[in-house]
Amino acid sequence: MAQRTAFVTGITGQDGSYLAELLLERGYRVVGIVRREPRDAQSSLPPGLPGSVDLVEWDMRDLPRLVRLLEERRPLEFYNCAAHASGSGMYDEPIEIGEINGVGVTRILEAIRRVDAGIRFCQASSSEIFASASESPQSETTPVCPRSPYGAAKAYADFMIRIYRERHGLFACSAILFNHESPRRSTAFVTRKITHELARIKRGLADELRLGNLSARRDWGFAGDHVRAMWLILQQPQAEDFVVATGKTHSVREFCESAFTHAGLDYRDYVKEDSVAYRPDEPVQLVGNSAKADRLLGWKPETGFQGLVKMMVDADLRTVRG
């Protein structure tokens, strides 16, 4: 039996790297798509991936180049984990966000349609498509209502996926991922900012951590669990979209308390609310209902909130040295 090939965009990021590891464990040949010279991108991969994946360069604006890559490598599956500016940057550079997160996905779909409509495609979508929702929890039937350029671009990509699925018969799906974290998360995100600064405080390199609204709540899961759902989605007999979430929310304050307690500290001695960074609570809580994923994929998160916090704290304590 020939080895299966999968394309993964965003392979140097959190989701792409965990997904690449999962695919390698399952015997795939992984082609990682990067924005810059592959030799330079090697250094951005987690330990174990350099030398195990084949890196190729692709600008998401270049449709002919992707057509050639698909013709040369003939993947069976294609996972898009690449995105521009999420987290605190989701309102910045709206044109670039729309180009990469929205139109770029359409280019992938069009390339697949032209080369081989049998290639299965999974998009890493986002709970930000529900940011102005009037109902909670959110499921696959919740009306899409983004309120940021990032969420709008993700919603556009989801609509195009549905169009290509229904009009052209592509096996194309959206995994609507709610917040998912890990030690590989950027420090631009509040969870990693907390654990990284906690490690610096523990090592005597900092004496306080300034955050915005400590009451803000999120549906936080582990990135490794969420990308496992993406893989399961492409193993199904029928192409469908799925919400991927834990179904539970925790506040920023709870995250701080758990993280600092695990490091033997009291968060109240170090964490300060910053009025400049303060964002009011959302009118409706973003929390996902992943009952469909449970029923059809047999998917459940394996890493709980406390385990996720401890994993992230331990990783930063190992890497931050005084």
pLDDT in tens, 89-131: 788 899 999 999 999 999 999 999 999 999 999 999 999 999 9
> What residues are annotated to the active site?
126, 128, 150
Q: Residues 280, 310: one domain?
A: yes
For residue 269 the two structure tokens come to 């001695």
Rounded Cα gap, residues 322 and 319, in angstroms: 10
Q: Residues 70, 16: one domain?
A: yes
Cβ pair 216, 251 in contact under 8 A: yes
- Give the number of domains in the chain: 2
CATH number at residue 197: 3.90.25.10
Q: For residue 250, what are the β-bridge partners? A: 218
H or E segment to which residue 133 belongs: none
Q: What does the mean pLDDT of the chain come to?
A: 95
pLDDT in tens, 194-252: 999 999 999 999 999 999 999 999 999 999 999 999 999 999 999 999 999 999 999 99
Q: Residues 209, 165: one domain?
A: no
Q: Residues 97, 122: one domain?
A: yes
Confidence of residue 253 (pLDDT cuts 50, 70, 90): very high
Q: Residues 142, 214: one domain?
A: no
For residue 249 the two structure tokens come to 């929310």
51: left (phi over 0), alpha (psi -120 to 50) or beta: left
DSSP of 14-67: HHHHHHHHHHHHTT-EEEEEESS-HHHHGGGSPTT-TTTSEEEE--TT-HHHHH
Residue 175 CB partners (closer than 8 Å, separation 6+): 122, 123, 124, 125, 226, 229, 230, 233, 241, 242, 244
Q: Residues 111, 199: one domain?
A: no
Examine the pLDDT at 276 and tell me if it is beyond 70: no
Instruction: From residue 196, give the alpha-carbon distance in Å to each of 57, 192, 215, 221, 313.
Output: 31, 6, 20, 18, 7
Examine the pLDDT at 66 and tell me if it is beyond 70: yes
Query: How confident is the model at residue 33, as a pLDDT?
Result: 96
Q: Residues 135, 193: one domain?
A: no
pLDDT in tens, 285-320: 999 999 999 999 999 999 999 999 999 999 999 999
DSSP letter at 288?
Answer: B
- Note down the domain range covering 200: 186-219+248-286+303-319
Examine the pLDDT at 9 and tell me if it is beyond 90: yes
Instruction: From residue 94, give the alpha-carbon distance in Å to each of 35, 74, 106, 259.
Output: 19, 33, 17, 34
Cβ pair 53, 31 in contact under 8 A: yes
Residue where a domain terminates, one of 210, 229, 244: 244
Q: Residues 202, 308: one domain?
A: yes
Confidence of residue 281 (pLDDT cuts 50, 70, 90): low
Query: How confident is the model at residue 239, as a pLDDT?
Result: 98
- Which pTM does this prediction carry? 0.95
Q: Residues 78, 23: one domain?
A: yes
